[in-house]
A and B are shown apart, each in its own frame.
Chain A
Amino acid sequence: MARMKFLCDAERCIECNGCVTACKQENEVPWGVNRRRVVTINDGIVGAEKSISVACMHCSDAPCMAVCPVDCFYKTEDGVVLHDKDLCIGCGYCFYACPFGAPQFPQAGAFGLRGKMDKCTFCAGGPEPDRSEAEFKKYGRNRLSEGKLPACAEMCSTKALLGGDGDVIADIYRDRVVHRGKGSEVWGWGTAYGPGKPGAQPPAQQPSRGRS
């Protein structure tokens, strides 16, 4: 049985926000709602800047499920945490409980009106009929029922963001860490273009690290 998870490799994420854009476009997420976002620490400090893409982590013991007063959350057989928007009352408890700030609330009206909760669905839609218009309008596209993975992970240009069964993506990540070495080999000339031919132009020298 699969346990669908996301894994973001902070060594590879270049803060391009391609995952955010892919999610927005694929699910037609309204303004003000960000199902996925990129968080950067040590911004601007050479060598210390790290970025990571964050959305709903589809927790095994999800705190949003535990605190929901109307029990609108459920977990699919693949471990994806979803919710029924017809039941949601927009109270915001799930937002306070979530350690990742995943639940989002559209604010379409005046006076800080809080709409029904919206969050990453792992591109698995919701409890409406699969691939129906109602499902798309409420939850976005159901890519899992099309045999595909979430758009954010599949669109990631550096493959920093991996999505899928926890065991499989952990194997990919482990394999990557073992092979990539360190320094410029993490992501650069050798990985992108291979070892090169004899007599070819050598890759540019790496600039010295640290602040000047």
Chain B
Amino acid sequence: MIRVLLLIALFGLAACAERDQVADFKKGKYQGKPDTPPWDSAPLAYGGKWTKGDRASWENQIKTRQLGQNEDVRINQ
């Protein structure tokens, strides 16, 4: 009886040694040319206003533009 129980425990524990079946993919690394962020460009004369190189001011400009898409605000104000 004890041998049978030991055998069951042995096979039961064998499952714990199962190999991981999910592949661990290795992520590639970009091999191309580096890109410059959009806030490193100076604003155009007819475009929005931000300080060249200042990300926060560029994001403010983009956010203003994004909120301009909400026509409910534009119509009802």
Interface residues of A (CB under 8 A from B): 2, 65-66, 68, 70-74, 76-78, 82-84, 86-87, 124, 126-131, 142, 144-149, 153-154, 159, 162-165, 168-169, 172, 175-176, 179, 191, 194
A interface footprint on B23-35 (CB within 8 Å = 1, 0 otherwise): 0010111111111
Chain B interface, number of residues (Cβ within 8 angstroms): 34
Q: Give the number of residue pairs across the A-B interface with Cβ within 8 Å.
A: 111
Q: Kindly state the separation between the CA atoms of A169 and B43 in the bound complex, as whole angstroms.
A: 24
Once the chains bind, are A82 and B31 in contact (CB under 8 Å)? no
Q: A147 is contacted by which of B31, B47, B67 (Cβ under 8 Å)?
A: B47
Once the chains bind, are A130 and B40 in contact (CB under 8 Å)? yes
Once the chains bind, are A71 and B28 in contact (CB under 8 Å)? yes
Q: A71 is contacted by which of B29, B43, B49, B71 (Cβ under 8 Å)?
A: B29
Given A71-B29, A71-B31, A74-B35: A148 touches B47 (CB 8 Å cut-off): yes
Contacts of A191 in B (CB 8 A): 72, 75
Smallest CB-CB separation from B50: which chain A residue? A147
Once the chains bind, are A147 and B43 in contact (CB under 8 Å)? yes
Given A147-B65, A165-B63, A169-B66: A74 touches B41 (CB 8 Å cut-off): no
Once the chains bind, are B69 and A153 in contact (CB under 8 Å)? yes
Given A2-B59, A71-B30, A127-B32: A149 touches B38 (CB 8 Å cut-off): no
Interface residues of B (CB under 8 A from A): 25, 27-38, 40-41, 43-44, 47-50, 58-59, 61-63, 65-67, 69-72, 75
Once the chains bind, are A146 and B72 in contact (CB under 8 Å)? no
Once the chains bind, are B35 and A145 in contact (CB under 8 Å)? no
The 3 closest A-B pairs by CB, nearest first: A84-B32, A147-B48, A164-B66
Contacts of A77 in B (CB 8 A): 37
Smallest CB–CB gap between A122 and chain B, Å? 10
Q: What are some 16 contacts across the A-B interface (CB < 8 A)?
A: A71-B28, A74-B35, A82-B35, A87-B32, A126-B35, A129-B36, A130-B38, A131-B41, A144-B62, A145-B41, A146-B41, A147-B50, A147-B58, A159-B70, A163-B66, A165-B62
